[in-house]
Chains A and B, each alone.
Chain A
Amino acid sequence: MSTTERHIPDRLTTPAQRVLKSWEALLLAVAIAIFIVNSLASPYFLNAWNLSDATFNFTEKAMIAFAMALLIIAGEIDLSVASIIALASTAMGAAAQVGAGPATLVLIGLGVGLACGAFNAVLVTVMGLPSIVVTIGTMSLFRGISYIVLGDTAYGGYPPGFEYFGQGYVFWVFSFEFVLFAVLAVIYGVLLHKTNFGRAVYAIGNNATGAMFSGIRVQRVKFILFLLTGLMSGIAAVCLTSRLGSTRPSIGLGMELEVVTMVVLGGVNILGGSGSIPGVVIAAFVMGLVTFGLGLLNVPGIVMSIFIGLLLIGVIALPRLWSMARGK
Chain B
Amino acid sequence: MTQLLKSREAILTGAILVLIALISTRYPGFAAPGNLANVFNDTAPLILLALGQMIVILTKCIDLSVAANLALTGMVVAMLNTVAPGVPVAIIILIALALGALMGAANGLLVWKLSIPPIVVTLGTMTIFRGIIFLISDGAWVNAHEMSAPFKDFPRHVLLGLPTLSWIAILAVLAFFVLTTRTALGRAFFAVGGNPHASVYTGINVGRTQFWAYVISGTLAGLTGYLWVARYAVAYVDIAGGFELDVVAACVIGGVSIAGGSGSVIGALLGAIFLGVVKNALPVVNISPFWQLAISGTAIIVAIAFNARASRVPGRVILKRAEHAA
A residues neighboring B (CB under 8 Å): 77, 123, 127-130, 132-134, 136-145, 147-148, 150-152, 249, 254, 257, 260, 264, 270-271, 300, 302-303, 305-306, 308-310, 312-313, 316-317, 320-321
Asked if residues A313 and B304 are in contact (CB atoms below 8 Å), the reply is no
Inter-subunit contact A144/B291 (CB<8 Å): yes
Q: Are A148 and B290 in contact (CB under 8 A)?
A: yes
- Once the chains are docked, how many angstroms separate the CA of A136 from the CA of B304? 11
Contact residues in A for B32 (Cβ distance below 8 Å): none
Of A134, A144, A152, the contact of B293 (CB 8 Å cutoff): A144
B11 on interface, CB distance cutoff 8 Å: no
Inter-chain CA distance A140–B242, complex, in Å, is 9
Chain B: how many interface residues by the 8 Å CB criterion? 44
- Proximity string of chain B (50-80) to chain A, C-beta cutoff 8 Å, 1 when within and 0 when not: 0000000000001000000000000000000
Q: Complex formed: what's the CA distance from A152 to B288 in Å?
A: 11
12 further A-B pairs in the complex, CB-CB below 8 A; given A134-B301, A144-B295: A77-B119, A133-B252, A134-B304, A136-B245, A140-B242, A141-B298, A143-B293, A151-B290, A302-B130, A313-B110, A313-B121, A320-B115
Distance to closest chain A CB from B160 (angstroms): 37
**In the assembly, what is the distance between CA of A309 and CA of B121, in Å?**
9
Q: Would you give the 0/1 interface string for B299-315, flagging 1 where the beta carbon is closer than 8 Å to chain A?
A: 01100110010000000
Are B297 and A139 in touch, CB under 8 angstroms?
Answer: yes
Q: Which residues of chain B are near A264, meaning CB under 8 Å?
A: 120
In the A-B complex, the 6 residue pairs with the smallest Cβ-Cβ separation, listed nearest first, are A144-B294, A140-B297, A141-B297, A306-B131, A137-B300, A144-B293
Main secondary structure of the interface of A (DSSP, over half): helix
Query: A309's contact among B124, B245, B290, B305, by CB below 8 Å, is which?
Result: B124
A140 to B290, Cβ gap below 8 A?
no
Interface residues of B in 218-238 (CB under 8 A from A): 237
Which A residues lie within 8 Å of B206 (CB)?
A: none
Whether A141 and B294, one on each chain, are in contact in the complex, defined by CB atoms closer than 8 angstroms, is yes
**Pairs A–B under 8 Å by Cβ, sample size 29:** A123-B301, A128-B308, A133-B248, A133-B304, A137-B297, A137-B300, A137-B301, A138-B297, A140-B249, A140-B293, A140-B296, A141-B297, A141-B301, A147-B293, A148-B290, A148-B294, A150-B290, A249-B290, A254-B127, A257-B126, A270-B116, A270-B120, A300-B139, A302-B134, A309-B131, A312-B123, A316-B120, A317-B114, A321-B114
In the complex, residue of chain B having the shortest beta-carbon distance to the beta carbon of A142: B297
Residue of B nearest to A80 (CB): B297
Contact residue among B120, B128, B249, B296 (Cβ-Cβ distance under 8 Å from A306): B128
Nearest chain A residue, comparing its CB with the CB of B299? A137
How long is the Cα–Cα vector from A114 to B216 in the complex, in angstroms?
40
In whole angstroms, what is the CA distance A151 to B292 when docked?
11
In the assembly, what is the distance between CA of A226 and CA of B272, in Å?
31
Shortest beta-carbon distance from A74 to chain B in Å = 15
Cross-chain contact of A303 among B114, B115, B131 (Cβ < 8 A): B131
A309 contacts across to B, CB distance below 8 A = 123-128, 131
Are A144 and B292 within 8 A (Cβ)?
yes
Name the residue of chain B whose CB is nearest to the CB of A318: B114
Q: Tell yes or no: B117 within 8 A of A by CB.
A: yes
B135 at the interface (CB under 8 A from A): yes
| Residues of chain A lying within 8 A (CB to CB) of residue B308 | 127-129
Q: Which residues of A contact B124 (CB under 8 A)?
A: 257, 309-310, 312-313
